[in-house]
Amino acid sequence: MRQTRTIELGTGLFVLLGFAALFFLVTQITNREFGLGDGGYRLLGSFEQVGGLKPGAPVSMSGVTIGHVEGIEYDFNEYKARVTMRIDSDYDRIPDDSDAGIFTAGLLGGQYIGIGPGGSETFLAEGDQMQFTQSAIVLENLISKFLFSKAGEKHGDAPAEASTP
């Protein structure tokens, strides 16, 4: 009996550790949130360009994470990307004229949505559409713009502000 008990103990320990590891990997390593009963409310935003934004990316105000990106689809009515954000119910006083932008954390880091508050007295609620959006900056576009402007400079017909060193 004693032997059986140590086997059971060892097995139990192993199984527990295994599932703990799985749980750790799923909840702590990924950006997925397993909130009990999907709390909070949804906001929508249309972007010209979402870049590398992915579902699960954080939504933040002044660097404080207030929610997550829930889904990204392409909207053929507007010909824009439609991003659904889930905002925690604690942050329920976002002015309805706030703007949302897609930013990059660090040079190679993941992308997130930053919300800058507006000045309105009315607040966004479930299902509202963000009115002002700023697209993700695509590095290639930026570089090609820069190169074109440089090339223009050489030909001497550059705009005035670009010619100042």
Segment contacting another protein (CB under 8 A): 10-18, 37-45, 93-101, 116-124?
A: 10-18
Segment contacting another protein (CB under 8 A): 76-84, 94-102, 107-115, 124-132?
A: 107-115
Q: Does 139 bind another protein (CB under 8 A)?
A: no
Interface residue with another protein among 11, 141, 144, 163 (CB under 8 A) is 11
Q: Does 108 bind another protein (CB under 8 A)?
A: yes
Q: Does 141 bind another protein (CB under 8 A)?
A: no
Interface residue with another protein among 47, 112, 124, 133 (CB under 8 A) is 112
Beta bridge partners of 128: 43
Q: 29-48 mask for another protein (x: CB under 8 A)?
A: xxxx----------------
Please give the full DSSP string across the chain, using - where no structure is assigned. -HHHHHHHHHHHHHHHHHHHHHHHIIIIISS----SS--SEEEEEEES--TT--TT-EEEETTEEEEEEEEEEEETTTTEEEEEEEE-TT----BTT-EEEEEESTTTS-EEEEEE----SSB--TTEEPSEEEPPPPHHHHHHHHHHHHHHHHTT---HHHH--
> How many residues appear in the chain?
165
Interface residue with another protein among 38, 39, 105, 123 (CB under 8 A) is 105
Interface contacts to another protein, rule CB under 8 A: 7-8, 10-11, 13-15, 17-19, 21-22, 24-26, 28-32, 54, 56-58, 105-110, 112
